[in-house]
Amino acid sequence: MATEILVPTLGESITEATLGEWLKQPGDRVEADEPVASLETDKVSVEVPAPAAGVMGAHGVNVGDTVNVGAVIGAIEAGDGAPAAKADAPAPQQAAPAPAPTPPEAGQQAPASPAGEPSSNVEAAALSPSVRRAILEHGVDPANIKGTGKDGRITKDDVVAAASNKASTPASPPAAPAPTAQAASAPTGNRGEERVRMTRLRQTIAKRLKEAQDTAALLTTFNDVDMTAVIEARTKYKDLFEKKHGVRLGFMGFFVKAACQALRDIPSVNAQIDGDEIVYHDYADISVAVSAPQGLVVPVIRNADAMSVAEVEKTIGDFGKRAKDGTLKMDEMKGGTFTISNGGVFGSLMSTPIINPPQSAVLGLHRIEDRPVVRDGQVVVRPMMYLALSYDHRLIDGREAVTFLVALKNAIEDPTRLLIDL
């Protein structure tokens, strides 16, 4: 008797999702609670566990289809005898001639696999359609690719990186199949196109950012900050800090604490509009923009104003790791009263970030670079960073926005202010 695979509850107010990937193919052996599919919601990816052990039946929906909570997307067939026999069948047949195929398998078995199919070391079921297409286009062997995705799965970026390494290696035999595969997929040269459906997360990001532009009266004000004092403090105490707290001392801890102090002094930056009312918060829940494989996610540091720098750094480090693994929970990305986005890690010099509704402001951090500045009448070189505060002008006046940035700048340039509450 077959056991139906149902779309699990996805969280409050989330009623549907997109089937992002089938992790098990029909006929595969499945253990109870083993992930069989991956769903993409507005915020995170959710794995669908197998309701029982058995054999994966036919897929009820296709990759990219929209499914509702509680919908049937497949089934687990009863019985484990068939898959076991299927797996054991080749062994007795090849028991006698086993020594013959062994030498080729130890040599160059993978390139000889037909039509660029994944080798026996990598289950085809573990490869998404876009990854399989990339493998065919680049002519690489997935068995030689180290996956950086969730649970070690191979991503499209892994295939591209492996192809780049292969092209830079002076070994001519492996490089020969690549042009052939490319020529077959793009007969007109290097003008190929690929049409890929937007993930639900990317659709949500696009919708929310456009909604922010259409609703809020966006304005951005800039300032710059001398990072000398923070860099010196970090250099002096980073080893002791990591030894005591088990986490590296970064710059975000300083900026989060400085922002919390400035938000307390300028409460409108920490407020939001709800209809014809203004909601002021006496706490600071700081949303931190984190880059994930499927897009930008914004987990929230709850009560950041009551945390130490070490607690902030630990929380951010945990968010970053779990964003990469795709294990962030939906509740961790709800709410938030103010956002900090650090484009400097990607080399951005200056930007105008867009607010994260219903929040009213977002702070953009950028790369640190040495620039000539005037100090005490002398031109000196200092590590400088541009700051950008985008805000909803319906709620926040220019005076308040500038005052907020100046307060934050003062705290970063003289971190002692954070200790004595100035």
Cite the active site residues.
393, 397
Q: Which amino acid is at 399?
A: R
Q: Rounded to 10 degrees, what is the CA torsion of 363, 368, 374, 380?
A: 170
Cα–chain center distance at 344: 17
Q: What is the 3-state secondary structure (H, E, C) of 292-343?
A: ECCEEECCEECCHHHCCHHHHHHHHHHHHHHHHHCCCCHHHHCCCCEEEEEH
Q: Is 219 exposed, middle or buried (0-12, 13-18, 19+ CB in 10 A)?
A: middle
Contact at 8 Å (CB) between 181 and 168?
no
Tokens of 214: 């259409």
DSSP 203-251: HHHHHHHHHHHHHS-EEEEEEEEE-HHHHHHHHHHHHHHHHHHSS---S
Q: Is 314 exposed, middle or buried (0-12, 13-18, 19+ CB in 10 A)?
A: middle
Q: What are phi and psi of 376, to 5 degrees?
A: 55, 40
Pairing of strands 378-392, 369-375: antiparallel
Q: Characterize 173-189 residue by residue with b for buried, 16 or more Cβ atoms within 10 angstroms of its Cβ, and e for exposed.
A: ebeeebeebbeeeeeee
